[in-house]
Chains A and B, each alone.
Chain A
Amino acid sequence: AQSVTQPDIHITVSEGASLELRCNYSYGATPYLFWYVQSPGQGLQLLLKYFSGDTLVQGIKGFEAEFKRSQSSFNLRKPSVHWSDAAEYFCAVGSTGTASKLTFGTGTRLQVTL
């Protein structure tokens, strides 16, 4: 069965500092991996995705993530955080085939201090 672990429930960074959110997955084949962001009271917005190819993927809002098969990880990074990045971040693994679904991690809440 597929699963996702986000070890950090809550992270606080200063505005302008770099950010790394951790994500580890379990999946039997080559995974489809996603990072979504949820601002308070809002829906989920896709930041970036990995299907195949280059293991470093660029997303919106200056985010990037690196797929490391050997570590079963797909960590999200941003070199300089803005106060507007404060939100809940979800890593997800997607299955393929007819019965496709996203399995989400428990989320990491990012707080940005000024």
Chain B
Amino acid sequence: DTAVSQTPKYLVTQMGNDKSIKCEQNLGHDTMYWYKQDSKKFLKIMFSYNNKELIINETVPNRFSPKSPDKAHLNLHINSLELGDSAVYFCASSPQNGNEQFFGPGTRLTVL
């Protein structure tokens, strides 16, 4: 069973488009996260949700809007995509704040 899953795995799109990435965890965790890994492999947190409530918004442009319909899902919607948004986006979850995080397989977004 996949613990943290993301769809799609690859996403190729044109500048200016709007796209969404979905994340689901079946671990029963309360906290979920989105991280961005750039072309130099640097990982940086974007958002954190705890029980559907936004906890962390790490100075991400407001073109990025996370949505958590329930505590098992955290989706990421991106408006007006830019070239600089090209990256690998990782979803993660943890049983509680401060504990180890379990990562999804990543979604490679390429903006042309």
Query: Measuring CB to CB, which residues of chain A are less than 8 angstroms from any residue of chain B?
Result: 32, 34, 36, 38, 42-46, 49, 88, 90, 94-104, 106-107
CB distance from B94 to the nearest CB of A (A): 7
Question: What residues make up the interface of B, taking CB atoms closer than 8 Å to A?
Answer: 31, 33, 35, 40-45, 48, 50, 55-56, 58, 90, 94, 97-106
The residue that B45 contacts in the complex, of A34, A96, A102, with Cβ under 8 A, is A102
B45: which A residues are within 8 A, CB to CB? 101-103
Residues of A within 8 A of B94 (CB): 100
For residue B44, which residues in chain A have a CB less than 8 angstroms away from its CB? Answer: 104
Known: A43-B103, A44-B103. A97 touches B40 (CB 8 A): no
Residues of A near B58 (CB, < 8 A) are 101
Given A42-B105, A104-B42, check contact A97 B97 (CB 8 Å): yes
**Contact indicator B43/A49 (Cβ below 8 Å):** no
A97 and B98 within 8 A (CB): yes
